[in-house]
Every structure is written in C-alpha cells, then in structure tokens.
A = this chain, B = another copy of it.
C-alpha cells in the first residue's frame, strides 16, 4: 500500500489527533496508508524544549522519506500564505522526486489575499510594504509551491469551506485523495 504523508497545520488544532485519524481513515478508504506526523510515539515529555523540537523535526523528515507521496493543506494560516512548516515539507518532497498534491479550503489567488492583508494595515515588524511587488500569476499560492505541485504530477485542489471550518473541512482533501488515486493507483 502506498504511503502518503499528510502535511498541514492541523497538528495545531485542539482536536488534532481526532482530525488526523479522520484523514488517515479517508486515506485508507482511497487505498493509501496515511501518515499523520503527530501520531509518532516520541516520548518527549522529560526533554528540554530544543531537544523536543529536534526530535519532532527529525522524525518528520524520516517519515517523509518513508512516504511515496505528500498531500499538503495549503489553506492560509496566520497570514497571507500557508503554514511555513508545510511549505518546507512541500519543498522537501519535491526535491526527492515524490509526487506532491495540495489543497486549500479558501478560494482566491495569492494576489487577492496579499491585497486584503495590506488593506488591513501592515503590522509592526512585518517586512511587507506598499510598493513591494505582489505575485500575480493567478495561482493559489507562491509559484514555487504551486508549480512544484503541478510539475511533480500532482494537483492543486481549490475548495471553499464554510466560515469557521477553514482548517477542519475535509471536502477538498477528499478530492486530493481521488487525484492521488488517479496518479498512483490507476
């Protein structure tokens, strides 16, 4: 059974384990073994914070290497773009030649979100400024992410989750699994 690494900021949800198990169950229905990073048994409690972080990171990298493909949740998280850790993981799997698929639960391209960010006023300490170019390729995310997904053979699914369910809705994830079947299993 092909192994799919499930990347995304769901690991920060209060019910992360439950959401992860739902994603793993749906992956199984689609014919994949889902790998949810938070389900690894790492026994971190007695360790200093930096050592905890180190072990989580190295375990996630090893889990990626053990996976045949990646499905990334690209939904905007704490800013104009996706979660930075997930972007790292998309780059990681792209570099080692594995198919990457992605989905976002918020419709609209990068440009429209960057413009909305500016309309709210650029916060202190943020390095954006009026006059800076805003990427305008009609893509849902920075071109390094969006193109890598397509060039790897994957798909970028744009969903439209109800307000308040931008992180938890699994409709676009389900479409991604169907695409993954098409790429890997048919």
Contacts and interface: CB of A to CB of B under 8 A. Distances in A.
Nearest to A144: B85
Nearest to A96: B95
A157 interface: no
Interface string A53-78: 11011101100000000000001111
B151 A57 contact: yes
Q: Say how many copies of this protein the assembly contains.
A: 2
A135 interface: yes
Contact of A92 (B13, B91, B105, B141): B91
Contact of A53 (B49, B125, B137): B137
B85 A84 contact: no
Contacts of A163: 124
Contact of A81 (B83, B96, B113): B83
A24 to B, nearest CB: 20
Contact of A125 (B88, B113, B151): B113
B92 A58 contact: no
Contact of A79 (B54, B60, B117, B136): B117
20 contacts: A14-B131, A53-B137, A53-B143, A54-B147, A61-B94, A77-B128, A78-B79, A79-B81, A79-B117, A79-B126, A81-B83, A81-B84, A85-B145, A88-B145, A88-B148, A92-B92, A106-B125, A106-B127, A127-B167, A129-B164
